[in-house]
Amino acid sequence: MWILGVNAPPAGHHDTAACLVDGEGRVVAFCEEERRNRRRHSLYRKPRGAARFCLEQAGITAADIDVVAVGWDDEQLYPGRFADDASFLAYAVGLDFGDRLPEVVRIGHHQAHAASSFYASPFKKAGVLVVDGHGENESSSIWTYEDGRAPRLERSWQRTASLGYAYDAASTWLGFSFLNAGKTMGLAAYGRAGGLAPEPLVSFDGDDFRLVLDPLPERAGRADSEEIKEQYEKVVARWRGLYSRIAGADGPGAPEERLADDPRAVLVAYTAQRLVEETVTHLASQARKAAGVEDLCLSGGVALNCSTNGTLPGPLYVPPVPHDAGVALGAAWSVRPPGPRTEPLTPYLGVDVLTGGLPLDDTGDLVRSALDTDELTGLLLAGQIGAVAQGRAEVGPRALCRRSIVAVPDTADVNTRVNAVKNREQWRPFAGVTRAEYGALLWEQQEHLSRYMLGAARVTDLGRQVAPGVVHVDGTTRPQVLLGDEAPAVGAVLDSLAAQGAPPVLLNTSFNDKGEPVVDTAADALAAFRSMDLDFLVLGDELYRKKASAGGGR
């Protein structure tokens, strides 16, 4: 049996993705469409390239698919739009299924999010909290999941009581897209560091919470996409008006590259951040209470907020794909859950960088040699900044050392240099990666979040001393702990640094230029390497350097 899970239009209009699961619930392949079509967030684009990759990885064709599982109830959101499943599949997926159409199963958006988190976790039973902009009829929901039992919805909150809407409003007030919430989170750290005490925007009464802006009246149960869009625009406009009152202005007074120096911008970002942190902390407690266990899973777009995740106590798991791309996985698993698990989901489920071999274009402008760990370590210790593209790509927005830019973070200046390499704002922070044993000395410990770089952790005095380039203004970093041979080149360098008596920690950020998705193939990696001011590239088992800079370090 083969189940193809998708996040696809018309309901899944951004971060489209495809995931292939077999009859035992094993994930064979998982890919976000943006990696294939090279369009950031793949807005309004069907996940055809991602689906084709999944089929190729399994060695099957579209005609072999038994079920297409969709992470939305598009029949509610777009009533009467499609005459039958054949027309829906043609619009949403775009594969030729031949004469044997697969069954189409529509999974509620929040249930798909919840399944993607619980079944990716090592937990046997857990409370699951989903927080995002909105599903079909909710903005936050609490579930109990247990192996061998049907999931139980404990409670949900209406769409217009959405933390995601409130955060979108702050992001757009700041001049960002609603898809740039990570920038808002990074800017909020300047408010925390400055000791701001923002106006509280939420209150709590027993098990419930109440936002300072009351939700709109909503038609229960069956709102369509037009109604939801109208409500979204009204609610976001109300939140923007509130932020304008708080800041005393309708927008920032500085350009994007200098927002950290704008007190009003910092205040708005931190006000929204505190709203999310306070409310999610409350909801996390309610989820644990409802499930009767301390193990907690978190999903939905708000679960990408590393600063919030890092404030939550107790056993916590967030999957590598908590955002909308993840419902491709959750929808498939809702049809066929995996068996017993002892380890969290591996994130390395994407395209192998050398699939199809190296591009045929001339590489005469590059110096190419076999990869040598000692040479690579020496380049990094000499202050060079390089990129790594090895093996199967990570799923999700966090680069986990198979599609990463790396550097030694022994000075704060490296942060400035890497931001310049990536052509992004200088106030943006970076993350550190190390082995588990050394990580225990550098920052507060996280049992699961650091596997996928999804939780902020406070840095120790030693961390500040040896890795200032990955310490944000509020004293935190977003750590990654690398296990075994998950990412061979980076792991080998960490071990080599330790053997040489140097701190075994690297700066790690995604390998992509401004406005580009993370690189996927060898062709992507070479193009990005040429366009960016990088010193070297690890591509598969080879090291590439630019002839103009092959003679030494910076």
Query: What positions carry a catalytic annotation?
Result: 14
**Helices in 19-94 by DSSP H: which ranges?**
33-37, 48-58, 74-77, 85-92
Residue 86 CA to residue 62 CA, distance in Å, equals 13
**Residue 208 CB contacts under 8 Å (≥ 6 apart), including other chains:** none
CA-based nearest residue to 401, from 505, 499, 529, 472: 505
Location of structure tokens 């309901």: 11
Kindly provide the b/e burial profile for residues 457-488, where b requires at least 16 CB atoms within 10 angstroms of the residue's own CB: bebeeebbebbbbbbbbbbbbbbbbbeeebbb
Between CA 455 and CA 314 the distance in angstroms is 13
Residue with tokens 């697969």: 102
Contacting residues for 60 by C-beta, under 8 A, at least 6 apart: 2
Judged on CB neighbours under 10 Å (0-12, 13-18, 19+), 182 is: middle
H helices then E strands: how many in the chain?
17, 24
Q: 517: which 2 tokens?
A: 């998705």
3-state SS class at 130: strand
